[in-house]
Amino acid sequence: MRLLHLYVIAVFVVVASCTIDKTDYEAEISTETTEYIDFKEVTSITSGDYTISIEALNGSLYKGYNEIHLKITNTQANGDLENSEVTFLPIMTDVNGNKVSCPHEYNLPYDATEEYYKGYAVFTDESDSTVSWQLYIGFVDNDQSYMIDHTITVEEQTNLNLNMTAFTGNDNEQYFIALISPQSPSVAENDLVAGIYKYNPPTDPAGTFPDPSQFSYSIVQNHTLLLDPRMPEPSMGNHSSPNNVDLTQQSDGLYHGVVNYTMTGNWTLNFILQDEDGQTIKGTEVSTEFTPGIEGEKSELYIDILF
């Protein structure tokens, strides 16, 4: 029996003394990516009798896609304003004073179960000394319209898996693609979700500012986003992965597909955006050759990610 004890101790000592530690995989894939799970208040605006609370993931607004929850409280009546006609318009003022918007949902529907107005905004730039973002929120209570504006801060998106790109298509229209999911990819099959939007140029001259018809964006319908993920690092020789699925639009308006990442690191999602007739709007096919030592070629349309 004593022999057995000695044996167990000896085994334990040797096993505990591995020279190289095993990688903690869960920690490994979470080091580069910050996951945003909880909705927190970004800001709260008080105007007259009303308080507007804006919530977003992590309590911040970032460049790229942001889901936005909005609550309006009548402080006098001490109650939430439900089923109002709420409008939401982000406006960016650049260094020259030009005012533009970004893809957003203008009319925010009310979610009765969650008790908030739900929308999104795809901010195209970060706030800095020359770029400022202003929110224009309109609502109706007791047949009276209110309009409140408030300056917000758009922060840099450090998680490249929520990266975005803006481009002009071959049809001279302005398009936006923003990654929404996965926030923290794995070396696995990942469901890839992206929003695809376009700018609708105004047909009428501008009315009083802010005139929503001058800042109109819409979800691109029934297009296809062809996907070819590759590792651009020269030593990876244009490495790719199998079994990827191109992104197509689902009932939630977003585009869904599958991307397989074969290892962690830098990946480029090479895209080709095609309309419902299969006409290419933007993007080029990339070489499928394995070319060690040469930096991988990218499509005209791509988004870099990292995990």
**Binding-site ranges for another protein (CB under 8 A):** 3-4, 6-7, 10-11, 14-15, 18-20, 22-23, 25, 28, 32, 186-189, 231, 233-243, 260, 262-266, 288, 290, 292-293, 306
Nearest approach, Cβ of 271 to another protein (angstroms)?
A: 18
Nearest approach, Cβ of 177 to another protein (angstroms)?
A: 23
Asked whether the bond before 292 is cis by omega within 30 degrees of 0, the reply is no
Residue (207 or 292) nearer to another protein, CB: 292
Residue (68 or 259) nearer to another protein, CB: 259
Nearest approach, Cβ of 57 to another protein (angstroms)?
A: 23
Distance CA 300, CA 201 (A): 24
Nearest approach, Cβ of 263 to another protein (angstroms)?
A: 4
Residue (127 or 240) nearer to another protein, CB: 240
Q: Which residue has the tokens 């109002």?
A: 84
Which two structure tokens, joined as six digits, stand for 1?
A: 């029996």
Residue (202 or 265) nearer to another protein, CB: 265
The distance in angstroms from the start CA to the end CA of the chain is 51
Residue (6 or 147) nearer to another protein, CB: 6
The residues, any chain, with a CB within 8 Å of residue 136's CB and separated by 6 or more, are 87, 88, 89, 90, 91, 147, 148, 149, 210
Distance CA 164, CA 172 (A): 19
Report CA Rg, the chain.
Answer: 24
Nearest approach, Cβ of 283 to another protein (angstroms)?
A: 19
Residue (209 or 290) nearer to another protein, CB: 290
Residue (25 or 209) nearer to another protein, CB: 25
Nearest approach, Cβ of 194 to another protein (angstroms)?
A: 20
Distances (CA, A) of 221 to 13, 101, 254: 63, 20, 9
Residue (23 or 208) nearer to another protein, CB: 23
Nearest approach, Cβ of 158 to another protein (angstroms)?
A: 13
Nearest approach, Cβ of 205 to another protein (angstroms)?
A: 50
